[in-house]
Amino acid sequence: MTDATVNADATAFAGTGEAIIKVENMDKFFGDFQALKNINMNVGHKEVVVVIGPSGSGKSTLIRCINRLEQHDAGRIVVDGIELSDDIRNIQEIRKETGMVFQSFNLFPHLSIIDNITLAPRQVRRMPKAEAEELAMELLTRVKIPEQAQKFPGQLSGGQQQRVAIARALAMRPKVILFDEPTSALDPEMIKEVLDTMKDLANEGMTMICVTHEMGFAREVADRVVFMADGEVVEVGTPDHFFDNPQEARTRLFLSQIL
């Protein structure tokens, strides 16, 4: 097998029209260490991209650059036509359009579930309280825990907390949601409920980038799978291609280790 047959181009996206996320020639350094090397990647409307790769390969760093939790050092990132630059206004605009779900939930422990969800819509979108609460209840119903609205994060199970975190991200009505290993901190019996919520979202047409080790999820939901190693995009393909017929040696090694 030659390198020529490996598809490492993450710029071709499913669907038509403009890509909603464009990453061009992006580098990211931590001190002298280069965590991301010349990343090129596009994500189309309503596309679900799953990013996989060994630990330390730069998956988190990649999606954290997209909403400026990390600052990229070279190249361009454009989200929904807005270029991510040092302009605070652009950063805020992009953050309004991109929700994020963290591995460790990061709910606000001092606020009730409903306040967790309504905080950003009320403060950032200036939504009236009544409207925000109505929206929050709607979202809680969607993630199937409306009865928990008045509780506090510490009183919920991990799976419930992560579903609240998803509702919180949705409350800003983002165009994209970034997931960074949303099920890695969960007990096995709770993983399913979170994955089901994510599947529902995907089926409803939400644009998503998911870093995850859940291969079943990737296979079922992903439009494209991106495999990263050592800060580079190594191989890109549909789930079928990816799991049945991986080309690159590193991909196969990785898949053999986790499957």
Partner 1 sequence: MRLAIYFVVAAVALFGWRFLRDVTTKRDTSNRPPPWRDVRVLAVGIQVVAVGILFLLGSWLWDNFNTRTDDIGLDPFDFAFLDQPSGISIADSDLNPNSPISSALRNGVKNTFLTIVVGIPLSVLFGTLIGISRLSENWLLSKIATGYVEFFRNIPPLLIIVFTWSVFLTGFPPERESWEIGDLFIFNNKRFAGPSIASQENFVAYRWLMLAALALAAVVWVVRTRLFDRTGTPHRRVLWSLGTFVGIGVIGYVALGQPFRFSTPDIVERVYEGGVKMQMPYAAGVFALTLYTASHIAEIVRGSILSVDRGQVEAGNALALSGFQRYRFVVLPQAFRVAFPPLINQFLNFTKNTSLFVAIGFAEITSISINLFGQSRPAPQILFIVMGIYLTFSLVLSTIGNLINGRLAIAGR
Ligand X SMILES: Nc1ncnc2c1ncn2[C@@H]1O[C@H](COP(=O)(O)OP(=O)(O)OP(=O)(O)O)[C@@H](O)[C@H]1O
Find out whether 154 and 109 touch, Cβ atoms under 8 Å.
yes
Among the listed residues 45, 47, 61, 202, the single contact to ligand X using CB under 6 A: 61
Task: Give every CB contact of residue 201 below 8 A, 6+ residues apart in sequence.
Answer: 166, 170, 177, 208
Among the listed residues 60, 162, 207, 212, the single contact to ligand X using CB under 6 A: 60
Q: Which does 108 bind (CB under 5 to 8 A by kind): ligand X, partner 1, Mg ion, none?
A: partner 1
Q: Going edge to edge, which strands form the sheet with 224-229?
A: 98-101, 176-180, 207-211, 48-52, 224-229, 232-237
Q: Is 60 or 197 the residue whose CB approaches Mg ion more closely?
A: 60
Among the listed residues 35, 149, 194, 209, the single contact to ligand X using CB under 6 A: 35
Contact region for partner 1 (CB under 8 A) — 22-30, 34-42, 105-113, 137-145? 105-113
For 218: left if phi > 0, alpha if psi spans -120 to 50, otherwise beta; the answer is alpha
Q: Is 176 or 234 the residue whose CB approaches partner 1 more closely?
A: 176
SS3 241: helix
Number of residues in contact with partner 1 under rule CB under 8 A: 35
Residue 170 contacts partner 1 per CB under 8 A: no
Find the angle CA(67)-CA(84)-CA(30) to the nearest 5 degrees: 65
Contact region for Mg ion (CB under 5 A) — 57-65, 69-77, 198-206, 237-245? 57-65
Q: Across-strand partners of 58?
A: none
Residue 81 contacts partner 1 per CB under 8 A: no
